[in-house]
Amino acid sequence: MLTVALLVGGAAGFGGWYVWSRDGGGTHKDDARTKVSTAPTGPSAQDTSLSGPTPAPSLDATSASPSVSALPTGYHRVSNAEFGTAVPDGWQAETQGGKNGVTIYFFRESGGGPRYLQVFRVSEDAPTPRGTLTAAEKDLRKQVPGYHRNSLTSVPDARGEAAELDYSHPSRKWGVDVRTLDRVIPAGGGQLYVVLTSGPAGSWPEQRQIQEAAVTSFCLAGAC
């Protein structure tokens, strides 16, 4: 069922799986999507008081009660109807509607490029973090040329069970190898969210730094 959903542009259980799992130039439909909204993000756009210099969060040190003080230098907090999180300054925000009422949130480097952050709610029935990623990887292996798994592991999270898929593949659109981190985290009330970061493999561990800032500061709207 997931494979069929991937081919038509969005997995029913995973909201935006097809959108974030592929790359342009014939292997990614991301650039062809309908943009529901676009808006610049940065210290002047929203929550400017939260972007001052602060220590970067340590890896895998996710807090059950995220604090704005955890935002590292060069990041600011964004908030929407679903959640709040940290994104790099100057990145552009846009959204796309997915299946089952899922909204897919993108944050991209200004001017375009292979770097982006994506967040969306997992909408399959009775999901688990590792099970969600295991199911998605089956289709990634079939649909993404040159797919290579770096790791698939459970990760510490004070909020509950979490898991991460780390993979690489050549990007035909950007002409570089890209490395992607897919983290599935618990968000309270039995909900799971995907927090995904992707960028040039040569810029590693930039993806890790962006993801940790986003994951560590993530909280549902009204709970931050």
DSSP 68: G
Is residue 215 pLDDT above 80, yes or no? Answer: yes
> From residue 132, how far is each of 136, 144, 153 by CA, in Å?
6, 18, 12
pLDDT at 198 over 90: yes
- The least confident of 11-15, 110-114, 211-215 is 11-15
pLDDT of residue 77: 95
Question: What pLDDT sits at residue 4?
Answer: 26
pLDDT given for residue 19 in this prediction: 44
Spell out the alpha helix ranges (H) of 129-187.
129-143
- Mark out the alpha helices in the chain (DSSP H runs): 2-7, 17-21, 129-143, 206-217
Length of the chain: 224
Bin 189: left if φ > 0, else alpha if -120 < ψ < 50, else beta. Answer: left
Q: Which range (101-105, 110-114, 132-136, 137-141) has the least confidence?
A: 110-114
Rg (CA), the chain: 16
On the question of pLDDT at 101 being above 50, the answer is yes
b/e map of 170-183 (b: 16 or more CB within 10 Å)? Answer: bbebbebbbbbbbb
User: What's residue 70's pLDDT?
Assistant: 60
Contact 117, 57 (CB under 8 A): no
Q: Which residue has the higher pLDDT, 51 or 66?
A: 66
Which positions ≥6 away from 108 have C-beta within 8 Å? 91, 92, 94, 115, 116, 117
pLDDT at 33: 34
CB 65 within 8 A of CB 182: no
Per-residue pLDDT tens digits for 31-50: 323 333 334 444 333 332 22
Mean pLDDT for the stretch of residues 89-107: 93
pLDDT of residue 224: 76
